[in-house]
Structure 1
Amino acid sequence: MAQLPRAVAQTRLAVRRALADLYPGALVVVACSGGPDSMALAAATAFVGPRVGLRVGFATVDHGLQDGSAQRAAAFAEWARHQGFDPVEIITVEVDPRDGGPENAARSVRYAALDDARERHNAAAILLGHTRDDQAETVLLALARGAGPRGLAGMPDRRGFLRRPYLELTRETLEKACAEQELDTWDDPHNTDPAYKRSRLRALMPELAEVLGGGLPGNLARTARLVADDNRVLDGLAARVTARAAGQDASLDLSVLTGQPRALRTRVIHAWARLLGVPGSALSYGHVRELDRLITDWHGQGPVQLPGYIEVRRDGGKLLGGPRSLDL
């Protein structure tokens, strides 16, 4: 019997571990763009899924941003049908580059489309093919924009129904796995387009690794794991404080926050702002800083304006949140 190539074995083992807790008969859907990462994921899932009693589905999102995208999506969907995926779905979306730039806009509509597909098919999980290299790039980009611990934790291996089995595997490993299995893949030109910040960073990574050490991508990914571990502990502590401090009247009892370290206070502020209806991704460092000043540096300043037409003011020993007053 021929020995299974190491790269193929690694991809299958990672998928098996990622799916180990799912109930028999559950449906998992692979999100596949046709690139080496997601094609390696699709091939591994097609092999592992039925052997562990799971059903496997396939979804490819056509953003319509490049010529021939519909034909490529159809070709990959046809491949998936031959591999036994069911359901197989091509999801066509429209991307408005004015919505936070083309990268962010494409990501937002893609995740929304995948979540809709999960609901339609009652899937237990959506699998994504992000690699250790993607994680390293994410951490560097977070550093560049001055992100806090949430940003430095990078992409989680699980969030809700999303699972990323390959955050411990390199892009090179997945490319080898595709070559060993003779999988046809597609290299998205956006991945090397200097118009995109992540693409420019990807091109610089070999030079950065030469200057800072060849273990740079792995070290950055390990940093993300360590910070994520710390975040889980601090978020758990902050949740307890929030439960005690947040009132039913959209208030925050400041006496509960007295003496709490800033790392906990700011997490409580984030959680409370979400309770008020502020999207977590819209709450900036500046918003949190000004809300914290209402707690720790109160000298009569006016309300803080938050995204979603929400304002927060201090009233005695409480912060009160509500709809922003509009002068018409």
Structure 2
Amino acid sequence: MTNPSPWQEFCDAIESAWPVSRYRDVGVVVGCSGGADSVALLRCLAEATRPRAGTTPPSGFIVVAHFNHRFRGEASDGDADFVRRLADQFGLAVEIECGDAAARDEESARNHRRAFFRNLLGRYGARYLALGHSRDDNVETVLYRMMRGTGPLGMAGVAPFRPFSEHPSDSDFVIARPMLSLGRDQIRGALRSIDAAWREDASNQSNTYRRNWIRNELLPAMETQFPHAVTAIARAVEGQRQWKDALQSVIDRWIEDQQVREAPLTLRRLDRIGGGGMPGRDWEQDSGAASPAEQAVAIEALRRCWHRAGWPLRDMGQHHWTRVVEMLYGGGPDALTLPGAVDVRRDQEAVVFVRRDPVFP
């Protein structure tokens, strides 16, 4: 019995994480930048859903989606042309949209790309948005969050499957990341084994963006002392994700009990509630502070409220979340303004969150 090829091993790993039976009869939008990871994912999904003799043809579809940020001029246009030819090779529909080259900050780029994907999901009636994030991407995300300040759930990395957003209109859309167990080198090796091309983004070598610095400088330095650092961190991330999954029901209950209304977001003051909002707590009215467990649950519930409201999370560090929890428990100021122009006001019974309309110069 011969050993499977690197490409077959790669496809088997995708099948294990995301069986073709789950998406062959629904619509999938595949985000494809032209880089190795997204190209490998697209090729694998296209092959998995290809009609085969003697079997019922799949009733689903794949749409290839490429957002051209135009940050690199002709090179960016070359990426778009590459993705278009790749989609044509597999007979797939392709959608390409160009962004504003002047909007170079990470948040604007992410928001524009996200709006593009959301529009395609709705227009085509697709179920999944498939993204080619790898194990290395997940490790970089966790390190980035740690250095900015994050809670235990932030160290769980990105989920392999999650709703596109918490908004009710997006309840049918799921983001799928079936490559989180696969390393970047393994993915490239799989593509080389079938002589498949991809595009290299030269800007990934620039350390202007912090994520690139983590990739290009921090992780290689760590691996000089700990050669298997990425694999070890990935195992820790998986353990955190399992813990996060177990905590979800507690967070659901917290929001159900403490949220007075969703818009404007209004939460009960926890120093006015027996038990501080946590079942089983021996609450003392004069304690005026959250226990570490209560703080962890409250912060992750707040993150979910932010996500539902569509407010920016990137600039919210752990110290911001801690200050909000302090307000909920009756400490700290009665008013503050958080990143993203979110105003927080506390009255006798509740804490109210309102995001001001952005002011443009």
Normalised to the residue count of structure 1, the TM-score between the two structures is 0.84
Q: Is the alpha carbon distance of 1:158 and 1:320 closer, same or farther for their aligned partners in structure 2, counting shifts above 3 Å? A: same
* Alignment match, 2:88: 81
**Structure 1: distance between partners of 2:101 and 2:249:** 36
Contact preservation (8 Å) 1:63, 1:95? yes
Specify the SS of the correspondent of 2:260. coil
The answer (yes or no) to whether the contact 1:62–1:92 under 8 Å persists in 2 is yes
Give unmatched runs, 5+ long, in structure 2.
52-56, 164-173, 279-293, 357-361
Match of 2:67 among 61, 76, 93: 61
2:171 paired residue number: none
Percent same amino acid among aligned pairs? 23
The runs of 5 or more residues in structure 1 that have no matched partner are none
Match of 1:247, SS? strand
Equivalent in the alignment of 2:350:
319
Q: Does 1:252 align with 2:265?
A: no
SS at match of 2:49: helix
Residue 347 of structure 2 aligns to a residue in which SS?
strand
Cα distance change of structure 1 residues 264 and 197 upon mapping to structure 2, 3 Å threshold:
closer
Equivalent pairs counted in the alignment come to 315
1:230 aligns with 2:243: yes
Q: 1:272 to 1:119 in 2, by over 3 A?
A: closer
Structure 1 residues 256 and 229, CA gap change in structure 2 (3 angstroms): farther
SS, match of residue 13 in structure 1: helix
| Aligned residue in 2 for 1:130 | 133
Specify the code of the residue in structure 2 equivalent to 1:245: Q
8 Å CA contact 1:95, 1:109 repeated in 2 = no
Which whole-Å deviations, capped at 9, do the CAs of 1:203-246 have from their partners, x for residues lacking one? 222331121x2221111112222212222222320221221232
For 2:268, give the aligned amino acid: L
Q: What pairs with 1:7-156 in structure 2 (closer than 5 Å)?
A: 7-17=6-16, 18-20=18-20, 22=22, 24-50=24-50, 53=58, 54-68=60-74, 69-85=76-92, 87-97=93-103, 102-156=105-159
Q: Is contact 2:152-2:296 (8 Å) kept?
A: no
Q: Separation in 1 of the partners of 2:255 and 2:33?
A: 40
Within the candidate set 226, 230, 233, 1:217 is matched to 230
Q: Does 2:326 align with 1:289? A: no
Once the two structures are TM-superposed, the CA of residue 26 in structure 1 deviates from its matched residue by: 1.0
CA distance in 1 between counterparts of 2:319 and 2:47 reads 48
- Whole-Å separation in 1 of the counterparts to 2:117 and 2:30: 10
CA contact (8 A) 1:303 1:314 kept: no
Map Cα deviations across residues 276-311 of structure 1 (whole Å, 9 max, x no partner). Answer: x57261654344323322343548x43333455533
Identify if the C-alpha distance between structure 1 residues 257 and 19 changes in structure 2 by more than 3 Å, giving closer, same or farther: farther
Aligned to 1:263: 296
Paired residue for 1:302, among 306, 331, 334? Answer: 334
Relative to structure 1, is the Cα distance of residues 43 and 323 closer, same or farther in structure 2, using a 3 angstrom cutoff? closer
Please list the CA deviations of residues 38-71 of structure 1 after superposition, one character each: whole Å capped at 9, or x if unmatched: 1111111111123582422211211111122224
CA distance in 1, matches of 2:209, 2:29: 28
Residue 103 of structure 1 and its aligned partner are, at CA, apart by 2.9
Contact 1:63 1:92 in 2 (8 A): yes
Between 60-69 and 24-33, the greater mean CA deviation after superposition: 24-33
CA contact (8 A) 1:305 1:324 kept: no
Gap change, CA 1:32 and 1:274, over 3 Å in 2: closer
For 1:113, the aligned partner's letter is F
User: RMSD across aligned C-alpha pairs, in angstroms?
Assistant: 2.9
Matches within 5 A, 1:191-206: 191-204=204-217, 205-206=219-220
| Aligned partners of 1:15 and 1:48 also within 8 Å | no
Asked if the contact 2:27–2:125 (Cα under 8 Å) also holds between the matched residues in 1, the reply is: yes
**8 Å contact from structure 1 (residues 246, 272) kept in 2:** no
Q: Which amino acid aligns with 1:176?
A: G
